[in-house]
Structure 1
Amino acid sequence: MPDFHFELVSPERLVFAGAVESVVVPGTEGQFTVLKDHAPLMTTLKPGVIDIAESKALLHRFFVRGGFAEVSPAGLTILAEQAIPLESLDAARIDADIKDAEEDIADASVDETRRLAAEKRDQLLELKAALKI
């Protein structure tokens, strides 16, 4: 199968770059698959999992928390708010972090602290929902 260029970029770094066969993207209007010569497209992303197939045997999976995807003749570029390799995630750790964030919300005496803790909890809940754990 022909390859195309793909880049996954987070605010911290270039997460992935290379020639791939396909990428499954969690668009806000629904999940879609990009293959070589896909029609040009720009869309926003919802929290979810990106599946990157370099070949039939080599698959990379990342959780992304929102962002943008652009398909052009040059390939696919995803600018993600956050990108985490799935193999680095642990369900028990996510649950513990959610519990900690909920405790931080309950303990917060300042609105800004409460808002930040709620934002963190919501991000963790999005991650958990996207991973279906």
Structure 2
Amino acid sequence: MDRFLSNTVSRIDAKGRVSVPAHFRAVVQKRGYSELYALRCLDLPAMDVGGLDLLDRYEQRIAQEDPFLQTADDMSFFCHGDGTFLKLDQDGRITMTDFIREHTGISAEVAFVGRGNFFQIWE
């Protein structure tokens, strides 16, 4: 399987880490992602998470815009300046940073939701 499918809820540990579901980690490994990139979801209190191909998708959209219009500038800020890298540790965990918690409202548990080529994390 090479897509992020299904959903699961995991608890955050005392150090602010959460285990990424095994089937999501398998996709990460199969795709050869060395780290993940997380962007704020525009219409939900969630984060879109994937490899750099997720960022490529946004950059392709930006390239279609007139670079002198505010829309292109806003989109560039959104995907280049308002995202964060997530590193999987040796146990398959990521840290729920303040940046992520503030946007999503995540406190004790994280919902991992597959979206095909990427996944989302919700409260």
Q: Structure 1 or 2: larger strand share?
A: 1
Structure 1-normalised TM-score? Answer: 0.28
Structure 2-normalised TM-score? Answer: 0.30
Structure number with the bigger relative contact order (C-alpha 8 A, sep ≥ 6) is 2
